[in-house]
Amino acid sequence: MTRGTLRGAPAESQRQQVRARYGGIAAGGSCCSSGADASGACSGATGESCCEQPSVSAHLGYSAKELATLPEGANLGLGCGNPTALLALRPRQVVLDLGSGAGIDCFLAAKKVGSNGHVIGVDMTPEMVGKARENARRARSTNIEFRLGEIEHLPVADGSVDVVISNCVINLAPDKAPVYREAYRVLRPGGHLAISDVVATRPISARDRADPSLWSSCSSGALPVKEVRALLKRAGFRDIRLDLKVPRKAPASLRGQASLGVVSADIRATKPRS
């Protein structure tokens, strides 16, 4: 069991806290809304909000042009990077987003894979799935679908996906190993994993690991780079690459993570062809 893995009652408590937090954000419209918890996915232990969605998203790597193409309500100011920018998505590809939220990365991926491609978003929060589906309906997006499910047990067929993306979600899973195994399972041979997530640059205490609020704010569930690499390798991935993004001064939206030694990272890996 890795240091970032919880089992039994603590794990279920973390899962419930995560579902409640993001259900509230979906119902409130953003991490800034009065109906939501004031600290969203990018918000850390200090409780500072990840509001100002366009400016936060620009800091995370989204271009103004990309943000302008999104349907209203798709960008909730969450995440810790832009996974759709980590590799060149191509027309006709099938892309799967783990923890798709209101759909920001799904909508961007859908434009890149075109009308003959397909994008699947999976999220365990009914409110988020409902919001994403409504966003797709209003945007008249015909090559996106959103499915309710857990990323440890993906409702996706074996070998049916070209690219798996995710944005600051895998750290929220009580056990990361099955998430990476599932990503490997659904990928076709030669398929790619491209995720933005947070990693720990120093040990996180057991007390902080067990704090549901810290865990659900994308802080204390982060694993060290060595453990992430080991989990990916154990799942079967090759060509593993982790690039840490350590700002000289953490923005308000990531200050809580910085206090724990948690930083954003771009993570890439490939499923071998044979």
Written as tens digits, the pLDDT of the chain (274 aa) is 454 455 444 677 778 888 889 999 988 844 433 333 333 344 433 333 344 455 567 677 898 899 999 999 999 888 999 999 999 999 999 999 999 999 999 999 999 999 999 999 999 999 999 999 999 999 999 999 999 999 999 999 999 999 999 999 999 999 999 999 999 999 999 999 999 999 999 999 999 998 888 888 889 999 999 999 999 999 999 999 999 987 655 555 556 687 899 999 999 999 999 8
In a domain, residue 3? The reply is no
In a domain, 55, yes or no: yes
pLDDT of res. 28: 81
Q: How far is CA 79 from CA 15, 53, 230, 238, 258, in A?
A: 18, 10, 24, 25, 15
Backbone angles phi, psi at 257, to 5 degrees: -65, -40
Kindly state whether residue 2 falls inside one of the protein's structural domains. no
Q: What residue numbers bound the domain in which 76 lies? A: 9-270
pLDDT at 95: 98
For the chain, the 3-state helix, strand and coil shares in percent, each to the nearest 5, are: 35, 20, 40
- Closest to 173 (Cα-Cα) out of 237, 233, 122: 122
DSSP letter for each residue of 27-93: HHSSTTSTTS-SS-TT--TT------HHHHHHHTT--HHHHHTSPTTS--S--SS-GGGSS---TT-
Residue 1 lies in a domain: no
Q: With respect to residue 156, please indicate whether it lies within any of the assigned structural domains.
A: yes
Distances (CA, A) of 188 to 86, 160, 242, 269, 274: 19, 6, 22, 13, 10
Q: What is the pLDDT of residue 78?
A: 86
Task: Convert the pLDDT of each residue in 210-234 to its tens digit.
Answer: 888 888 888 999 999 999 999 999 9
- Tally Cβ neighbours within 10 Å of residue 38: 17
The CATH code of the domain that includes 86 is 3.40.50.150
Q: Are 99 and 105 in contact (CB under 8 A)?
A: no
Residue 4 counted as domain residue? no
pLDDT for position 212:
84
Rounded to whole angstroms, the Cα distance separating 267 from 269 reads 7
Residue-wise pLDDT tens digits, 136-162: 999 999 999 999 999 999 999 999 999
Number of structural domains the chain divides into: 1
Residue 154's pLDDT is what?
Answer: 98
Looking at residue 20, what DSSP letter applies?
H
Helix 225-235 and helix 177-186: axis angle, to 10°?
Answer: 40
Domain membership of residue 243 (yes or no) is: yes
Residue 186, in any domain of the structure: yes
